[in-house]
Chain A
């Protein structure tokens, strides 16, 4: 009997102690997982926080319930239901405070564990975002692998448009859309870690993807009757791409920061050349106008041949920066049908491409350097090797000298392959011969 009573006493104590254990345990379905967080400038308070999290409707156990969603009535619009997710906005002083406040109206605890992206509005970014970033950096729930973005217009509107059209899975579509950076080379992909690192780093400054909403108004419907000219440059900012249909969200261009403040933006073209310098450019199509046949285009499939070779020298105290890029290209098409594939012509083509890229790279660097006065290229890393101690380097104040730096750009291009065609035959009877 004594033993039984002992065991009971032990059990009770254990249960008492162990109930303390599970304070950190939360069931999966007790939480809602924010997948995107947007921060706007508030009207009454500091910020306006927008959070998107998926609902658990639909799907479920196999056959039982039909497809979720199903026609967005006005009531759904009001409660912020968008394609299987809920979007909610709140005005508050800090981000975490906002999330705390949101739990008064959400049925579950909002967790930031799976936050895929943090989006700041342009307006807020111009004023500095480190206050909010450091909140995220300190808080254990937020992931430092979230993507940072700056939104043209309001982040709230951007998130309202965040829905998936192709698949059903919102988080998958977010991650895949970010990964498009590698395919197009028209916008950079910056994670929280690198962004935050750059805001406090002495070596380089921060940049992020520039995003916005496209209302499909750029696409002119009327044909004015004459032949439009060939436009090979893509000087688009978010919302300016002439298109129709598909998602309204658009990620194109780069937001350039100085410290934690936005100082300017790069358009799609500039972003491509910027990515080439920082070795983030993986692949992309570039169209160049055929010099010999104006109005005709030659699209190239570009990829980096080698990592960019950057050297920083000092001429007295002004830095001289040599940028050597090595770009490989495949010919995707030759509209003029000219026989560019021969040995001497290919050099010509190389020269054409080289001139084009060199020019643009120089312009891009200059734009960032002179207009925005910031070093997003990370040239500071190369300059740092010329200093012995951190004190020296910090005293030198790299960014202030970078503005006056002399930039030499040289690009080595190599057209390696010609696609599936070894050479092209011109179209024979293009001009009308019949009476």
Chain B
């Protein structure tokens, strides 16, 4: 009976309506820049009277110039003489409990002077620290002059004890911060008002190789490797800023994969960081290996055909995205950084675009968009045109095609599918074929196969051109996942084109557009600058000159929208030092 009841219930459930639970979606709250700015200004004026402290961290680009208000705190101007104060200060500066990069080692020199060394983990050479700083300090008790009544021992230590090749006094907080960020080790002894910075740079350079997928002609030739520490360091090397924060999260119940979430505090919208951390923490799976799997666990739309997370093997690309106000996720054991949130245009950009002067960058970008169009649609269009819209082909070509096809027994659709499949086969096999022969075999295989297929009257020659151009277009797409998406959708368009001609393809395009415009990448609509329309972007299809790109992308709602001064090339405003009045006769 109960079974029957259950059956009736399920039957009933098919025809009745049940209210679904509304699903809440993440979005990036907008931070009104104008408001905060005015507020800040207000604070500035009020502060002098009320001596109020600003708690908001100063955005990066301001910190170098407008850091006066920040350093109104006692230890911003000069270095405190208390060791506790200094430790606290460094910890605060590096967002310490959250940011695990900074290491502070406390010790006692000559059994009576309290001291500490501070450095960033991974950026320093441990042997140097152990042998020539720590040992020197802790072993050489005798050397320390007993009757020296200096309050500060550092001068003595600098000249007598430290055995590092470069060591210098640093008495400016700004400067010592930079020393730490560059991989040097700071030494402080209680009672002094300066630090000693020791040259201990020693980040892992081993295994940093050329990028394999995202190669560029101009630009850096570094790629991430499998070491998380190295990867973080590679990014940190490019962004020397104390607000660059690395937070570590362990993912996976059993394997506890270490993930690093990198962002710039005071610039990245905290909501994004929060959301990334929330998603990472809430993965309940035994094993998360590599970032390809991680991507599938944290993306917004798992059913979408296009990737919504940008994965890059280039530290410079990751760094530039972090500076735009995005978040990079690095996973131990994967030579890629995941960037969120991204939009479709960002996936189509290549780091090279910005390294080149803008006219060249714009040209290659346009070519890349054309390539994406070809890679997705060309075979579909070819099928549609040859089957439904013969009027579109110029008569001469039409007759040539018909002549060439005269001995081919298959309809166009079979030819196209056949050739596309064999091309995919060559690609897939080319990856597996070991070593150097792989590439050559791929090309030769394609050539021979095409030629032979034409001669054997299996396909028509025009088709070979179509398929190879499509393949080329596919390789020109800078993002590998996106290229795969193009490959998948290409087959959909071939089928649609074969069934309903241009009508089918138009419907396919519309569907595609609907699906793409409605997926999100960490709360950002995937087609962001176009639909929904946000602020005019200076770096979308056409690239404005770099010095004109005044704002960060609007959709990330960064805490600081402006990325450079309105006149970024300030030297144009002032007169050159060596100048002469140019007369009209001069030429």
Are A61 and B454 neighbours in the complex by a CB distance under 8 Å? yes
Are A29 and B400 neighbours in the complex by a CB distance under 8 Å? no
Instruction: Map CB proximity to A onto B433-476 as digits: 1 under 8 Å, 0 otherwise.
Output: 00000000000000000000011010011000000000000000
Choose among B395, B396, B407 the residue with the greatest number of A CB atoms under 10 Å from its CB: B395
Among residues of A, the one whose C-beta sits closest to the C-beta of B461 is A61
Choose among B402, B501, B504 the residue with the greatest number of A CB atoms under 10 Å from its CB: B402
Instruction: Map CB proximity to A onto B385-418 as digits: 1 under 8 Å, 0 otherwise.
Output: 0111011010110111111111110011000000
Q: Does B510 contact A (CB under 8 A)?
A: no
CB distance from B370 to the nearest CB of A (A): 26
Q: Does A56 contact B (CB under 8 A)?
A: yes
Among residues of B, the one whose C-beta sits closest to the C-beta of A58 is B403
Are B498 and A33 neighbours in the complex by a CB distance under 8 Å? no
Instruction: Map CB proximity to B onto A87-126 as digits: 1 under 8 Å, 0 otherwise.
Output: 0000000000000000000000001011010000000000
Among residues of B, the one whose C-beta sits closest to the C-beta of A84 is B399
Are A171 and B396 neighbours in the complex by a CB distance under 8 Å? yes
Q: Does A325 contact B (CB under 8 A)?
A: no
Contacts of A172 in B (CB 8 A): 395-396
Are B406 and A169 neighbours in the complex by a CB distance under 8 Å? no
Q: Does B429 contact A (CB under 8 A)?
A: no
Are B404 and A113 neighbours in the complex by a CB distance under 8 Å? no
Which of A27, A33, A171 has a CB less than 8 Å from the CB of B411? A27
Which of A18, A54, A56, A169 has a CB less than 8 Å from the CB of B499? A18
Contacting B at CB under 8 A, from A111-164, are 111, 113-114, 116, 143
Q: Does A60 contact B (CB under 8 A)?
A: yes
Q: Does A31 contact B (CB under 8 A)?
A: yes
The main secondary structure of chain A at its interface with chain B is: loop
Interface residues on chain B, number (Cβ under 8 Å): 31
**Could you tell me the distance between the alpha carbons of A116 and B480 in the complex, rounded to whole angstroms?**
47
Contacts of A35 in B (CB 8 A): 395
**Could you tell me the distance between the alpha carbons of A18 and B395 in the complex, rounded to whole angstroms?**
30
CB distance from B407 to the nearest CB of A (A): 7
CB distance from B405 to the nearest CB of A (A): 5
**Could you tell me the distance between the alpha carbons of A28 and B403 in the complex, rounded to whole angstroms?**
10
Are A171 and B395 neighbours in the complex by a CB distance under 8 Å? yes
Choose among A24, A58, A111 the residue with the greatest number of B CB atoms under 10 Å from its CB: A24
Are B399 and A33 neighbours in the complex by a CB distance under 8 Å? yes
Instruction: Map CB proximity to B onto A16-27 as digits: 1 under 8 Å, 0 otherwise.
Output: 001001101111
CB distance from B263 to the nearest CB of A (A): 43
The main secondary structure of chain B at its interface with chain A is: helix
Instruction: Map CB proximity to A onto B370-396 as digits: 1 under 8 Å, 0 otherwise.
Output: 000000000000000011101101011
CB distance from A95 to the nearest CB of B (A): 18
Are A61 and B387 neighbours in the complex by a CB distance under 8 Å? no
Q: Does B425 contact A (CB under 8 A)?
A: no
Which of A22, A25, A114, A116 has a CB less than 8 Å from the CB of B398? A114
Are B391 and A61 neighbours in the complex by a CB distance under 8 Å? no
**Could you tell me the distance between the alpha carbons of A54 and B386 in the complex, rounded to whole angstroms?**
18
Given contacts A22-B498, A56-B403, A113-B390, contact A28 B398 (CB under 8 A): yes
CB distance from A140 to the nearest CB of B (A): 10
Q: Does B531 contact A (CB under 8 A)?
A: no
Given contacts A18-B499, A21-B499, A61-B407, contact A56 B402 (CB under 8 A): yes
Given contacts A24-B501, A26-B387, A114-B391, contact A60 B406 (CB under 8 A): yes
Q: Does A295 contact B (CB under 8 A)?
A: no
Which of A24, A26, A58, A61 has a CB less than 8 Å from the CB of B455? A61
CB distance from A58 to the nearest CB of B (A): 7
**Could you tell me the distance between the alpha carbons of A31 and B388 in the complex, rounded to whole angstroms?**
12
CB distance from A223 to the nearest CB of B (A): 44
Contacts of B139 in A (CB 8 A): none
Q: Does B509 contact A (CB under 8 A)?
A: no
**Could you tell me the distance between the alpha carbons of A54 and B461 in the complex, rounded to whole angstroms?**
20
Given contacts A33-B398, A116-B395, contact A28 B454 (CB under 8 A): no
Are A29 and B402 neighbours in the complex by a CB distance under 8 Å? yes
CB distance from A199 to the nearest CB of B (A): 24
Choose among A29, A31, A54 the residue with the greatest number of B CB atoms under 10 Å from its CB: A29
Contacts of A58 in B (CB 8 A): 403
**Could you tell me the distance between the alpha carbons of A385 and B257 in the complex, rounded to whole angstroms?**
83
Q: Does A426 contact B (CB under 8 A)?
A: no
Q: Does B500 contact A (CB under 8 A)?
A: yes
Given contacts A21-B500, A143-B391, contact A28 B401 (CB under 8 A): yes
Contacts of A54 in B (CB 8 A): 399
Are B388 and A25 neighbours in the complex by a CB distance under 8 Å? yes
**Could you tell me the distance between the alpha carbons of A31 and B396 in the complex, rounded to whole angstroms?**
15
Contacts of B504 in A (CB 8 A): 21
Among residues of B, the one whose C-beta sits closest to the C-beta of A171 is B395
Which of A21, A56, A60, A111 has a CB less than 8 Å from the CB of B390? A111
Given contacts A56-B402, A61-B457, A113-B390, contact A25 B501 (CB under 8 A): yes
Are B403 and A59 neighbours in the complex by a CB distance under 8 Å? yes
CB distance from A255 to the nearest CB of B (A): 25
Are B400 and A27 neighbours in the complex by a CB distance under 8 Å? no
Choose among A57, A64, A113 the residue with the greatest number of B CB atoms under 10 Å from its CB: A113
CB distance from B417 to the nearest CB of A (A): 14
CB distance from B384 to the nearest CB of A (A): 9
Contacts of B407 in A (CB 8 A): 60-61
CB distance from B434 to the nearest CB of A (A): 35
Are A28 and B405 neighbours in the complex by a CB distance under 8 Å? yes
Choose among B390, B396, B403, B405 the residue with the greatest number of A CB atoms under 10 Å from its CB: B403
**Could you tell me the distance between the alpha carbons of A172 and B404 in the complex, rounded to whole angstroms?**
18
Contacting A at CB under 8 A, from B486-509, are 498-501, 504
**Could you tell me the distance between the alpha carbons of A26 and B411 in the complex, rounded to whole angstroms?**
9
**Could you tell me the distance between the alpha carbons of A29 and B504 in the complex, rounded to whole angstroms?**
22
Are A22 and B499 neighbours in the complex by a CB distance under 8 Å? yes
CB distance from B383 to the nearest CB of A (A): 9
Among residues of A, the one whose C-beta sits closest to the C-beta of B451 is A62
**Could you tell me the distance between the alpha carbons of A58 and B407 in the complex, rounded to whole angstroms?**
11
Choose among A21, A25, A58, A113 the residue with the greatest number of B CB atoms under 10 Å from its CB: A25
Are A28 and B412 neighbours in the complex by a CB distance under 8 Å? yes
**Could you tell me the distance between the alpha carbons of A111 and B387 in the complex, rounded to whole angstroms?**
13
**Could you tell me the distance between the alpha carbons of A339 and B403 in the complex, rounded to whole angstroms?**
60
Among residues of B, the one whose C-beta sits closest to the C-beta of A22 is B499
Among residues of B, the one whose C-beta sits closest to the C-beta of A141 is B391
Are A61 and B399 neighbours in the complex by a CB distance under 8 Å? no
Given contacts A18-B499, A28-B390, A28-B412, contact A169 B403 (CB under 8 A): no
Contacts of B411 in A (CB 8 A): 27
CB distance from B375 to the nearest CB of A (A): 24
Among residues of B, the one whose C-beta sits closest to the C-beta of A111 is B390
Contacts of A26 in B (CB 8 A): 387-388, 390
Contacts of B388 in A (CB 8 A): 24-26
Contacts of B406 in A (CB 8 A): 29, 56-57, 60
Are B400 and A59 neighbours in the complex by a CB distance under 8 Å? yes
Contacts of B498 in A (CB 8 A): 22, 25
Contacts of A27 in B (CB 8 A): 386-387, 405, 411-412
Are B402 and A28 neighbours in the complex by a CB distance under 8 Å? yes
**Could you tell me the distance between the alpha carbons of A28 and B404 in the complex, rounded to whole angstroms?**
11
Contacts of B393 in A (CB 8 A): 28
**Could you tell me the distance between the alpha carbons of A154 and B583 in the complex, rounded to whole angstroms?**
80
**Could you tell me the distance between the alpha carbons of A60 and B460 in the complex, rounded to whole angstroms?**
9
Contacts of A21 in B (CB 8 A): 499-500, 504
Among residues of B, the one whose C-beta sits closest to the C-beta of A112 is B391
Contacting A at CB under 8 A, from B277-318, are none
Sample (20) of A-B pairs whose CB atoms are under 8 Å apart: A21-B499, A21-B504, A22-B387, A24-B388, A25-B387, A25-B498, A26-B388, A27-B387, A27-B412, A56-B399, A60-B403, A61-B407, A61-B461, A111-B390, A113-B391, A114-B398, A116-B395, A169-B396, A169-B399, A171-B396
> Which 7 A-B pairs have CB atoms at the shortest separation, nearest pair first?
A171-B395, A25-B387, A21-B499, A113-B391, A59-B403, A29-B405, A29-B402
Additional A-B contact list (5), CB under 8 Å, known A58-B403, A114-B395: A21-B500, A25-B498, A61-B407, A61-B457, A169-B399
**Chain A residues near B (Cβ < 8 Å):** 18, 21-22, 24-29, 31, 33, 35, 54, 56-62, 64, 111, 113-114, 116, 143, 169, 171-172
